Amino acid sequence: MSRAKRWDRHVVLATLLGMGLTWFYWATLGEMVKRWSTDPRYAHGYLVPIFALALLWIRRDRFAALATRSNWGGVLLIGAAVALRMAGAYIYLSWLETVSLLPAIAGLFVLVWGWPSLRWSWPAIAFLIFMVPLPYRLEGAMAHPLQRVATKVSTYALQTMGFPALAAGNVIHLNEVELGVVEACSGLSMLFTFFALASGVVMVIRRPWLDKVLIIASAIPIALIVNMIRITVTGVLHETVGSRLANLVFHDLAGWLMMPMAMGLLWLELELLTRLFLEPAPAVARLSPLDLMGNAPGRTRASRSR
């Protein structure tokens, strides 16, 4: 069978299996889309599948070099995904049902193109984890500490700039204003979005592994720093300009400016890593004295005369 016909057969098989998985996960996909539409912390969920497809396209040269062949091992992965989804439904854990979609997609690739196809597709499949909402219990456990950190650091920054700020719980007391750092202001939304963005950057750029690890590790502090800057600037505006402009910046403009600011900090980090970690220059071959004598002009002329 020619390669073109085999490719057409694989495309048809992948399409049919993809339609079957879509039908099987239709309710789960609907819940995810609803969460993306109503929860600003997961508004980036719409972009995650698009970036995953783009990542597959960027890595298409690696797929072309693979010896693809259908493998029944994909049935095992799909079976494990179905079992995981059934277990999530049995214990009423929707997150487990949703995350089972990832091994199901991996099983589809293995079933159609074989195990080598995972070397091409695994970054895109792994990136899909960012479209899955976290369990509510984990979100609550993360939001409270982030609120406390944002409140304390923002209060300290306002005090350093000479403003009479006092933190009581998750509320910053100023002269005539009480600035409440509620759960929506904890920075959790920024943390989710920017962590997904930093992971996408790591998958695309060509950098040493150490640089990529540092970029991923820095996503959390950068997201927290940007959120603290947002709260601090809001407090300064409340004290200097007025509550009307401060609320406008806090609720409207800050939401648009936080991500560009985080991207700017990430760019500065990349520039710093470029200057700190330099790739070693290629080693220069050392010549022995005999080699030097052999390349002497007199020796060369003598050799030619002979």
Closest Cα to residue 105, out of 77, 63, 72?
77
Confidence of residue 278 (pLDDT cuts 50, 70, 90): low
Residue 26 identity (one-letter amino acid): W
Max Cα distance, the chain (Å) = 101
Quickly state the pLDDT bin for 254 (edges 50, 70, 90): low
Structure-model confidence comparison of residues 76 and 211, the more confident one? 76
pLDDT of residue 304: 44
Give the list of residues 6+ apart from residue 174 with CB closer than 8 angstroms, or none. Answer: 158, 163, 164, 165, 235, 238, 239
Choice among 182-191, 217-226, 292-301 with the minimum mean pLDDT: 292-301
Instruction: State the DSSP H helix or E strand holding residue 42, giving kind and residue range, or none if neither.
Output: none
| Strand ranges in 104-208 using DSSP code E only, listed in sequence order | 166-168, 171-173, 178-180
What CA–CA distances, in Å, run from 37 to 43, 80, 224, 239, 275? 6, 30, 24, 35, 41
What are residue 178's phi and psi, to 5 degrees?
Answer: -115, 115
Residue-wise pLDDT tens digits, 29-79? 999 999 888 887 788 889 899 999 998 998 888 887 777 777 888 889 999
Two structure tokens written together for 213: 């690890």
- Put the strands of the sheet holding 171-173 in their side by side order: 166-168, 171-173, 178-180
Q: What is the pLDDT of residues 102-138, one digit of tens each?
A: 999 999 998 888 888 888 889 999 999 999 988 888 8
The pair of three-digit structure tokens given for residue 230, joined into one six-digit string: 């947002």
Q: How confident is the model at residue 84 (pLDDT cuts 50, 70, 90)?
A: very high
Examine the pLDDT at 237 and tell me if it is beyond 60. yes
- CA 189 and chain centroid, separation: 13
Average pLDDT, the chain: 79
pLDDT digits (tens, 9 = 90+) for 288-300: 554 545 554 444 4
Whether pLDDT at 301 is above 50: no
- Cβ(115)–Cβ(69) below 8 Å: no
- Res. 281 pLDDT band, cuts 50 70 90: low
